[in-house]
Amino acid sequence: MNEDGWLADTRTSYDTVADSYAHLLRGLLAEAPYERAAFALFADLVRAAGGGPVADVGCGSGRITAHLHELGMDAFGIDLSPGMIDVARRDHPGLRFEVGSMTDLPLAEGSVAGLLAWYSLIHIPDDQIGAVLAHFRRVLRPGGPLLLGFHVGDETTLKTHGYGGHPMNVYVHRRQPAQMAAWLHDGGFTVEAQTTVVSPESRLGGIVFARRQPGRPPQP
């Protein structure tokens, strides 16, 4: 599948399920204490690094963006799906949300103090992960924290329906934490902590804390 194809399919799929996605996941974080603890630690790390804007990349309906805001973060969301952004703006009218792709992140160099990608790398093919992490590194300030959430496993599956039975056409990639850590190291990040959790967010989820290394970006 070419890049335009999988991006277009992902956009269309999430446009289709946006309303039902927001409804079904609205209260999920209340049932996920370990994830809430991870977000609180992330907020502390951003503050310790000097504070500033925090990007929730692949924000979906904005539920995590809103939670970060409640933790005192200057958080804003970016998502590929215009439908998701419409829902996020509707449900969280006081926050900033923009349409954009993590494959061509529309943010200036060094413009964010922290970056979160919460179960949003799961649709990115392996051969595009390096380019996405290069964008993450570019927009993060030196020393800025990065928090990733993802499904753990070794398989890729095609999701043809979801969130109330609506049609979808997206590949879901499960990864091992060691593979994610290796990609981050190659991309100019220092991995500081990682764990796995079983929760309503995922039957087995991975959480990785990393930090943008200072200096020049690594060579491809």
In a domain, 8, yes or no: yes
Q: Is residue 217 part of a domain?
A: no
pLDDT mean across residues, the chain: 94
Does residue 83 lie within any of the structural domains? yes
pLDDT tens-place string over residues 19-67: 999 999 999 999 999 999 999 999 999 999 999 999 999 999 999 999 9
Is residue 108 situated within a structural domain?
A: yes
Q: Would you say residue 3 has pLDDT above 80?
A: no
Question: Is 220 within the bounds of a domain?
Answer: no
How confident is residue 164, by pLDDT bands cut at 50, 70 and 90?
confident
User: Number of folded domains in the chain?
Assistant: 1
User: pTM above 0.85?
Assistant: yes
Q: 47: domain range?
A: 3-212
95's CB contacts (< 8 A; 6+ apart) are 62, 65, 66, 69, 75, 76, 77, 88
The count of C-alpha atoms lying within 13 angstroms of the C-alpha of 59, restricted to the half-sphere facing its C-beta, is: 35
Question: What pLDDT was estimated at residue 216?
Answer: 58
